[in-house]
Amino acid sequence: MKPVVVLVSVDSNSVLKGAREYKNLLIDLVEEYNLSSVVDVLETGSFGVYLDGVLLEVLPDGIYYLVKSSSDVREIVEEHLLKGRRVFKLEVPPEKVRAGVVEKIEVPQETRVVLRNAGVIDPTNIKEYIARDGYAALAKALTEMKPVDVIEEMKKSGLRGRGGAGFPTGLKWEFTFKVDADQKYVLCNADEGEPGTFKDRLIMEGDPHSVLEGMAIAAYAVGANKGYIYIRGEYYESVRNIRKAIEDAYEYGLLGDNIMGTDFSFHVSVRLGAGAYICGEETALMESIEGKAGRPRLKPPYPPVSGLFGKPTVINNVETFANVAPIILNGADWFRSMGTESSPGTKVFTLVGNVVNRGLVEVPMGTTVRELIYVFGGGVEGGRKLKMVQTGGTAGTFIGTDKLDTPLDYDSFTKYGVSIGSGVILVIDERHCAVDIAKNVLGFFAHESCGKCSPCREGTRVALQTFDRLSKGLAKKEDIEYLWTLADVMQQASLCGLGQSVPVPMKSLLQNFADEMEAHLKKECPTGVCKFVKEKPRRPVLR
């Protein structure tokens, strides 16, 4: 890696203005002045702005020049590269260039921050990431900001954890910053296992450096020098692209010792998950990185005090880290201009189930369920009637059509009983039975409960068996009342977020589809999915 990099923006516009010729001239001049060992000249894609000339960027200084002639190029080499003096008359203010960072892709009303590069750049080519302001935020943090400034900016931005719980990211960093320790860690939770969710996979596959840059900025802010990305073992492509990104970042001096010539060092390695949903829980994930079975720890102490290997640890989701660089680069006010007061910014949603267009969409916080399904999702497939939507993920709420106009953010659960979670919008049409869906959801949790605490271990199994009896017409009214009690117990007494959130889908199904539950007591399944039996059922097989 050479300490200085000159990026030449080469796109269909700048080529007409002589970009290739200027690039070759740059290379020749660098040679002529014996700067080849310290200066790299690289060709990149478009900076996203169109000016009357060719844009160059000098890294790590982050200075943009607009050149219109060979003598301009010569002046930059002789003054800036050789003597270290900026050529003010050729400079372009960064705001002017960076205005092009957030592009509106041509999808109706989508706002791409997290997915700014996904599908736009070659994710295995670090140069393409750099050309789109990649690592400029890290450079800014390292050279212009103290760790407290970074934390202050993150707090001001109001960014909340995108893994589902919505804890303010800046606060988390501040807690970790304030603890004195010889070793701190930054972890990226990429153990995406929530049925219906695949946003983190696409971020890692499409823009792996955005995650690394976010992690490096977090490490600088809290005083950590070591980080891990814990990726689901099944995500082969993500693992491949993240590993390549780490390798390239090391080569370019953007990871490793003395990053960009500063005192800051940060090392990252990949750890693989092995198929356990519980490992998405932060303390279980740490146990797993330590090479143990991933069973959650009792909290407190929380990770900022005692996390990985008992050291202060920041742990954030992939999508959270992907938000960091744009915030540092464009400022908290810019970030707050999107989304809602309590939940600024955008959210990546996954549209799945019986919906016409299935896939990812990134929109401002506060977008309603109806807009997501009908504007972006194109409505229910086959012209069928919408019956219910599960929002947030398998641990999220089931809502009926009466709640479609709920704006989704981190407060919509407490305000309206509709959770945003990890951003799943699972559309379920009229052919499906609420009791049958309940069995599927509880079957999942009964299988994935780690077994450490009894409310969750036993609760998920008993709830599954009870819904199973209901689906066979063998349940009594008391069974439904019992499910409510069971949900309360699990919510209050479970050790970790898994057991505590199983009641969310349970209660929302019991409440929003009470009539359908009641009907099953009378051996009636309105959709005809459930087959009623006379004899006592066997225990359901757990898969």
Partner 1 sequence: MKTSADLDSSLYQRLDDYIESVKEKPGILINVLHKAQEIFGYLPDEVLEYVAEKLDVPVSKVFGVVTFYNFFSRKPKGKYQIKICLGTACYVKGGDKVFERFLEELEVEPEEPTKDGLFSVHPVRCLGACSMAPVVLVGEKDFYGRLTPNDVPSLIKKYREG
- Chain residues binding partner 1 by CB under 8 A are 192-198, 201, 232-236, 269, 271-277, 288-295, 309, 350-354, 358-360, 390, 394, 424, 426, 428-429, 432, 437, 440-441, 444, 447-448, 450, 543
Give the Cα-Cα-Cα angle 344, 346, 350 (nearest 5 degrees).
Answer: 140
Q: What are phi and psi of 492, to 5 degrees?
A: -90, -30
Minimum CB separation of residue 151 from partner 1 in Å reads 28
Least CB distance to partner 1 at residue 162 (A) = 16
Q: Which is nearer to partner 1, 272 or 489 (CB)?
A: 272
- For residue 394, the minimal CB distance to partner 1 (Å) is 6
Closer by beta carbon to partner 1, 228 or else 410: 228
Q: Are 153 and 327 in contact (CB under 8 A)?
A: yes
Which residue, 336 or 358, has its beta carbon nearer to partner 1? 358
Least distance (Å) between residue 288 CB and partner 1: 6
Closer to partner 1 at the Cβ: 221 or 433?
A: 433
Q: How far is the CB of 47 from partner 1 (least distance, A)?
A: 32
CB of 293 to partner 1, least distance (A): 4
Is residue 86 within 8 Å of residue 92, measured between CB atoms?
no
Which lies closer to partner 1 via its Cβ, residue 158 or residue 294?
294
Instruction: Report the distance separating Cα 89 and Cα 433, nearest Å.
Output: 69
Q: Which is nearer to partner 1, 222 or 360 (CB)?
A: 360
> What distance, in Å, lies between the first and last C-alpha atoms of the chain?
51
Pick 83 or 543: Cβ nearer partner 1: 543
User: Please, what's the b/e burial string for 237-262 (b: 16 or more CB within 10 A of its CB; e: otherwise)?
Assistant: ebbebbebbbebbeebbbbbeebbee
Cβ neighbours, 10 Å, residue 274: 13
514-521 and 454-471 helices, crossing angle to 10°: 60
E strands within 120-217? 185-190
Q: For residues 256 and 267, what is the distance between their CA atoms, to the nearest angstrom? A: 5
- From the list 362, 54, 2, 419, the residue with the least C-alpha distance to 210 is 362
- Quick one: which of 503, 476, 475, 479 has its CA closest to 489? 503
Q: How far is the CB of 443 from partner 1 (least distance, A)?
A: 8
